[in-house]
Amino acid sequence: MARKKTTVYIEEDVLKAAKIAATLTGKKEYQVFESALRQYLGFAILEKAWSKNRLSEAEALRLAYRELHSARRKMNAQGRR
């Protein structure tokens, strides 16, 4: 996935710690920030769930539409009572 440049404001001690972590691990600063954000946002859990997906794109779409239509039927049935 392509990266986008952004500006963030963080406390000086956090920036200093990130720079030190980058140096100690041989990573770039942006990699340290990206890794921390991914961990905080729970990306590892999502990636684990996605890795277990065995559906083709067409099968996933069929399943999604079937669930969508089912939910709409339930909503319509509830609204008519």
| Spatial separation of the C-alpha atoms in residues 10 and 36, rounded to whole Å | 14
* Contact indicator for 28, 22 with CB cutoff of 8 Å: yes
Q: What is the pLDDT of residue 80?
A: 63
First to last CA, the chain: 48
Structure confidence by residue, pLDDT tens digits, 9-53 = 999 999 999 999 999 999 999 999 999 999 999 888 877 777 787
Could you tell me the pLDDT band of residue 78, with boundaries at 50, 70 and 90? confident
Domain residue extents for the chain: 1-41
Name which CATH class applies to 1-41. Answer: mainly alpha
